[in-house]
Structure 1
């Protein structure tokens, strides 16, 4: 069925069209008759007929004005303008407002039938295409659900190229699994539902990722450009705290960074092996302690978890008055200080050392060590961070990049990123981005690309603003630059 509105200030005109429709089109229902443009607009505010015939000259708001307002609300209705005026300007304006047809009165019965038949054919085609898209979307959702649930199984069973094709498909996941982060989390009946809900909240709702299960464990595959290891570490730490507070269990996980697509199966197998062999009650001997300290200083995500467990182990096995605790924990901090000094030629973990010296409580010392470690990681990471930010800007200069987007992507506050960027580069974010864009623009102009095309290609939406920035950097306008080169 097709719903139709007719608007004309002459009742005889409306009756004439109605008779033609009643006699020739059983599937068209007249849902509204209007005498002026105001009635038409009011009707469209709450309804969406399939077809509308509007007289161009009606009292008050005319057909063209009504059409302008309708198009602000509705782009789908097929609107035919009826006019007693053979005026090219009216016809031109109607077409510019996406009118389906412009008919001159008196309209022959045959012409009305022809126009309505064409409209119905057009609507049928659109509905068919819309249904096709809905079915395709349903199929995609189904495929996505199956692949997400069974991704690890599919990787282990082979057919990797097909998996890659599905994962990178922009209509399904649009994830580059060649260089993705891969995390495995050990779960059981007691904690699975809780862990799964926290993963959805911490990862799925924030970054482009896939969550899959295999042998009751949960696996997350995260797009490399969506997050870095530090952000992942902080997200896992938050889940671990909540798991400890709510269920009194530790979070057991293992992390691998996929650098090549060919490595993904090997990394999955490695994670499965690690999840099966990690012992929550392991005895942290001197060799293990030294290895764990070394790895946390190298920012290995997997060892942060073990490092906290090691501190907890030392606290648990010694009582509050046991001097062995201070000796053992001092040895751990000494490992950290030595490793950090050898790497950065600076003394770190001073606060932790001071608290151990003053024999503060176990929990306060543990917290001090974790804060000092986090400070060290942040300081060491800042150089790499800014290099990564600069690299991202260079690769995406033609997009709409905002400092807020970068701060979210690299898991750092906007204020701190701005301060750090200026400190490391000598320029603020906008200055750096502008210089990159103008250098790219100069290259394009030398290659013969026109100014009207260049400004969009380098990320600007306003040609005047582009010209001002170009002149500010180069001293001359883009057109003068072209003539000089």
Structure 2
């Protein structure tokens, strides 16, 4: 597309020329308009237009003077003179300066169109574009797209003029799609180059967009935006079909723009989304307008560091209870908290590995049948995944299997399960809220169920179990302060009061005494 400069001292004429002529259809792009010859000379030096449509009579410097100045440095620029004066003297001077055409005012649109077509043919001949091969056109288009997405806004309009004749669009909207191949580092030699070529060829054969390569990404200037019905699924299928089995891709599209000069904005939107590629699902096209990360990183500012120990403890409880759904919910909750605080791949992987390691260590200490070393490959595998969803799936898959193995009789009533859980975890900081959360019960409702079944409140039952275990440990000769810690009472004075309440004697009075019937009853009503 050839650049055009319009010079006329009448604003109405300049604006009219922009409206009455379909410049793009004729192969031209108007890059500027000025009101006198001096400005035309200056703008010619800046923009190097191939055609100047110029009036003769203008203030400061008339059209013929401007043409003489420009001809000193540019012999190829074409000039189309507009004038309201049918004076042969003007025409003679114009011919001497190799002017391409002369159109009288008022302008006849059809006459002007014919002159422009004639000048276009001459420009084609001069530039050789009429003989441009399809290969060269593709190469030039890719070069111009790359220049546009890297250009300063001041240069974008000129590049757009050059790119327009090499493109066609189903609608007015334009959009950039960027795609990155997955697992190419583990694939055979040349896989990355091969998959890029397949994507480019597939898009071209189906007429969906214009491809280009930029760094690690394969890019496309789409002929229709992905919000159109069926467009996104069509592109997803195209990308998937080109991949080898077991290998995928990560793709993101920027926002829609309406001028080629603005495609840099769409490109930057897609690129910005791919910076968080770890959080993007593999094998899908993500749109910058869909807020695809909101389920993980929404409102990230101001989040406190996640309590890794609390998540590890909750996961440990869910595993010990054999609650597969609870394991899934805890992993999801932990992952969201980790991403909200620090969404970097390294931070999420390191913190999640710590949560799993602590939970599995606690579990191994409680269940002799569990060897923590058996899960070392899982912890190592976490660092190999390139996507958050695959990472969480791998963790859940193995931990759910472990939960099923430890679950025992899941058909037992919830209260019975809670009682058994207390017997195994009495020494920990157990709360009714925690148990209610693990079983998805209302705290008050679970508390009433528990008391109705056992005759004791949750905390009373917990105290009785602790005191029962304390009696056993004291008779085995353990020191009072040690027993206090072992059964979950960090404060020795508080332990004394609890022990005396349920046993009727001080802890020291039964230390080392021979076993006898427990004074603390755990019978249920």
Q: TM-score, normalised by structure 2?
A: 0.28
Q: Which has the larger radius of gyration?
A: 2
Point out the structure with the larger helix share: 1
